[in-house]
Amino acid sequence: MLISCITSCGKCDYCRKAMYSHCRAGGWVLGHTIDGTQAQFVRIPQADSSLYRLPPGVGEDAAVMLSDIFPTALECGVLNGRIQPADQVAIVGAGPIGLAAVLTAQFYSPARIIVADRDANRLRVARELGATDLVDVGTGRAADAIRTLSGGEGVDVAIEAVGIPETFDLCQSVVAPGGRVANVGVHGRPVSLRLETLWAHNVTITTRLVDTACTPMLLKLVASGRLQPARLATHRFRLSDAMRAYDTFGDAARERALKVVLEKD
């Protein structure tokens, strides 16, 4: 059984629009307004409409990835960015969400997937997962590099997968006229939106708390073999070893950790 990170009642006005993130009787509940699910047994609210049976061929490792990060990358990044075949896409941030965006962006056959980050290991993983071009943001010239890679005019879609003003700024700096900036990152501060130039650039900027409306689609893609989400699982620990798992995740760069899976004892 897959436990969605978003709880939905299926009946309220938001649920009727598949905007489960804002469900009147749910939304982002697990790990936010009540405890999360790192336990042997959990009681899930609105279970009838917030759990998904695993189809044959979908293992638990895949399922745990589909609970949150893959719907987030797909909905907030890829779908909101309206990636079309032959598009040029920049993904800023190669953490687990950014890497899940690299994988799910390919559902729509972009011509180019540029990934920008400052961690050489994560950039290497991005390449393995399908990125066509890598940009080191540590150089301070990432915007120029992305523009040059895209042929000068900028990218069709820029996905912000970090959550700080600098990375949002990079996205708005490299989007082509007519393009989309899809924000995925969780932000703690306002950002400066360059309307003095963007007002005339026909761009679209989107935000979204994941709705997990695409979970059934993702389950089918895993079952058919077109998506291997477990590729992002780098470490595994027993539940009784949870503190070590947190330490590993807390030092992710040095441990080369992407997603850490906890298993029942």
As measured in angstroms, the least distance from the Cβ of 197 to its own copies is 9
31 binds its own copies, rule: CB under 8 A: no
Q: Does 67 bind its own copies (CB under 8 A)?
A: no
Q: Helix or strand or coil: residue 208?
A: coil
148 touches its own copies (CB under 8 A): no
Q: Crossing angle, helix 165-174 and helix 142-149, to 10 degrees?
A: 30
Closest CA to 167 of 91, 114, 102, 95: 91
Give yes or no for residue 191 binding its own copies (CB under 8 A): yes
Q: State the binding string over 231-250 for its own copies (x if CB under 8 A, else -).
A: --------------------
Residue with Cβ nearer its own copies (229 or 262)? 229
Do 89 and 105 touch, CB atoms closer than 8 A?
A: yes
Rounded to the nearest whole angstrom, what is the least distance from the CB of residue 99 to its own copies in the complex?
Answer: 18
Residue 228 interacts with its own copies (CB under 8 A): yes or no: no
Instruction: Say how far apart CA 219 and CA 66 lie, in whole Å.
Output: 8
**Binding residue for its own copies, selected from 73, 221, 245, 258, defined by CB under 8 A:** 221
Q: Is 18 helix (H, G, I), strand (E, B) or coil?
A: coil
Q: Is residue 194 a contact point for its own copies (CB under 8 A)?
A: yes
Interaction residues for its own copies, span 68-107 (CB under 8 A): 84-86, 106-107
Check: CB of residue 165 under 8 Å from CB of residue 189: yes
Q: Alpha helix (H) ranges present in 53-141?
A: 60-66, 69-71, 96-105, 120-129
- Contacts for 150 with CB less than 8 Å, ≥ 6 apart: 88, 90, 112, 114, 174, 176
Binding site for its own copies (CB under 8 A): 9-11, 13-19, 21-22, 28, 48-49, 84-86, 106-109, 111-112, 132, 163, 168, 177-178, 183, 185-196, 198-209, 211, 213, 216-218, 220-221, 223-224, 226
